[in-house]
Amino acid sequence: MSYDDSNIFAKILRGEIPCNKIYEDEFILSFHDINPKKKIHALVIPKGKYVDLDDFSLNAAPEEMVGLIKGLNIVAKKLGISTEEGKGYRVLANISDHGGQEVPHLHFHLFGGEKVGKMVE
Ligand code: 5GP
C-alpha cells in the first residue's frame, strides 16, 4: 500500500487539524487519542510517511527507528506512566487489515494510568 497524504494523522502533522499534543521532536509527534479506551490513551507517530510498522521496518532510516523507540519512553515519562514512576503501560500497533488498523500512518497506542487488563479481548 502506498502512503496516502490525505490520512488524518498526515493532516495533524501538517497542522491542518488540531491535536491535544503531548510531545514533539525531530522524529515523532505524540498526542492524546480522540476516543480514549483507557484512562490514558496516547498516540505516538513518526514524522516520516510510513503506512504501518512493516513499511517502517523495511524503509525507515536507523535514526528514525531509534527516534521512535526512544520517543515511546519519553512520552511515557511525560505522562507519568513509565517504569521509572513504578507504573507501566501497554504499547500496541495495529497493522493493516487483519490487525485492525484504521488510520494508514504508523502509530503506536500507549494505554495506561490504570491496570489495562487482558492483552486481547
Ligand atoms: P488504529 O485503529 O488505526 O490503530 O487507531 C486509530 C486511532 O486514531 C483510534 O484510536 C482513533 O480514536 C484515533 N483517531 C482517529 N482520528 C483521530 C483524530 O482526528 N484525532 C485523534 N487525536 N485521534 C484520532
pLDDT value for 1: 78
Ligand 1 atom closest to Cα of residue 31? 22
How many domains does one find in the chain?
Answer: 1
Range of the domain at 99: 8-112
| Best of 34, 95, 98 for a ligand 1 pocket test (most atoms within 8 Å of beta carbon) | 34
Backbone angles phi, psi at 28, to 5 degrees: -135, 160
Ligand 1 atom closest to Cα of residue 102? 3
CATH number at residue 54: 3.30.428.10
Residue 47 within a domain: yes
* Ligand 1 first shell, C-beta below 6 A: 8, 19, 31, 33-35, 94, 100-103
Residue 1 within a domain: no
Residue 75 within a domain: yes
CA distance 95 to 84: 29
Backbone angles phi, psi at 68, to 5 degrees: -75, -45
Cell 496516547, located at residue? 42
Output the tens digit of pLDDT for each of the chain's 121 residues: 799 999 999 999 999 999 999 999 999 999 999 999 999 999 999 999 999 999 999 999 999 999 999 999 999 999 999 999 999 999 999 999 999 999 999 999 999 999 999 887 6
pLDDT value for 76: 98
